[in-house]
């Protein structure tokens, strides 16, 4: 395939293994994520933060179950808040750190079997940039 015609979707095909919903330091949530998820599950904001979030430094992450999976992960349905999942989950694996260092794409592929690593770094970065711009348009802050 000529690299010029490579689209973001060519670099990634989710295998639905659920590995990204387990461990890895937690899933950060923005204020907007918290508002969206709380509204989606019809929980008051304070209750939502108390039950479903945990502090991580100065930020909040989603709580995890005893088995290490995200509190919103279900083995049969995968993400139970899919329409409003946090920005971090929505963007994966097209995340800003790949623009800072494309080698991060390789590192991420060790934990995510959906990531293809047979494209040159400049092509990966072009696709990540394209996806992030699209995300900004779809979800203005």
- Interacting residues with ligand SF4 (CB under 6 A): 14-21, 27, 62, 70, 72-73, 79, 81, 85-86, 89, 92, 112-114
Query: Measured between alpha carbons, how far is residue 108 from residues 7, 57, 96 in Å?
Result: 19, 23, 13
Residue 22 pairs with which residues in a beta bridge?
Answer: 69
Q: Which residue number, 3 or 23, has a Cβ lying nearer to ligand SF4? A: 23
Q: Which residue number, 11 or 89, has a Cβ lying nearer to ligand SF4? A: 89
Report, in Å, the least distance between residue 128 CB and ligand SF4.
14
Q: Which residue number, 8 or 18, has a Cβ lying nearer to ligand SF4? A: 18
Q: Which residue number, 34 or 70, has a Cβ lying nearer to ligand SF4? A: 70
Report, in Å, the least distance between residue 81 CB and ligand SF4.
6
Residues in the chain: 141
Report, in Å, the least distance between residue 86 CB and ligand SF4.
6
Q: Which residue number, 3 or 16, has a Cβ lying nearer to ligand SF4? A: 16
**Residues 6+ away with beta carbon under 8 Å from 32:** 87, 141
Report, in Å, the least distance between residue 74 CB and ligand SF4.
8
CA distance 49 to 43: 9
Which residue in 22, 23, 29 sits closest to 58, CA to CA? 29
Report, in Å, the least distance between residue 131 CB and ligand SF4.
14
Contact of 80 with 72, CB cutoff 8 Å: yes
* Alpha carbon 110 to its chain's center: 16
């Amino acid at each position: 395939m000529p690299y010029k015609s490579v689209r973001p979707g060519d670099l990634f095909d989710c295998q639905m293994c659920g590995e990204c919903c387990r461990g890895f330091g937690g899933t950060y949530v923005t204020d907007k994520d918290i508002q969206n998820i709380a509204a989606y599950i019809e929980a008051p904001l304070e209750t939502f933060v108390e039950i479903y979030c945990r502090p991580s430094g100065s930020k909040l992450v989603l709580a995890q179950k005893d088995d290490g999976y995200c509190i919103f992960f279900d083995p049969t349905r995968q993400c139970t808040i899919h329409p409003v999942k946090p920005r971090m989950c929505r963007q994966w694996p097209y995340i800003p750190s790949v623009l800072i260092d494309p080698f991060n794409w390789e590192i991420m592929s060790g934990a995510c079997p959906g990531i293809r690593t047979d494209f040159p770094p400049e092509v990966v970065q072009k696709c990540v940039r394209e996806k992030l711009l699209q995300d900004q348009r779809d979800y203005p802050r």
